[in-house]
Amino acid sequence: ETTYKGRRLIIRRTRLIGDQAELFPSWRYFGFVTDLEGPAIELDQFHRNRARIELSIKDLKEGAGLEHVPSGKFHANGA
């Protein structure tokens, strides 16, 4: 964890697993910038859950015919 332009920059490091990873260990890095307060581990979980929800919304829009949601018309959104 560090700061970037006055905000918190949190980097998560995960080790790749499998046959090749045991022979040549390597790491994968994921980072995000936030202005939220709290422990880095909780913020990482919050951001990963949010990303999972956004992917679900994207899948709904592309696969279920919801590509025009939300609409610019109030009553259309209510329906």
Question: What does the alpha-carbon distance between residue 50 and residue 52 come to, in Å, rounded to a whole number?
Answer: 5
Q: Which two tokens stand for residue 71?
A: 């609409």
Question: What does the alpha-carbon distance between residue 50 and residue 45 come to, in Å, rounded to a whole number?
Answer: 9
Is the peptide bond between 70 and the residue preceding it cis, with omega within 30 degrees of 0? yes
- The length of the chain is 79
pLDDT at residue 24 in the model: 67
The pTM assigned to this predicted structure is 0.55
Which pLDDT tens digits describe the chain residue by residue (79 residues)? 888 888 899 998 888 777 766 666 788 888 889 888 999 889 888 888 888 888 877 777 776 666 666 666 777 766 6
pLDDT at residue 36 in the model: 87
pLDDT at residue 77 in the model: 67
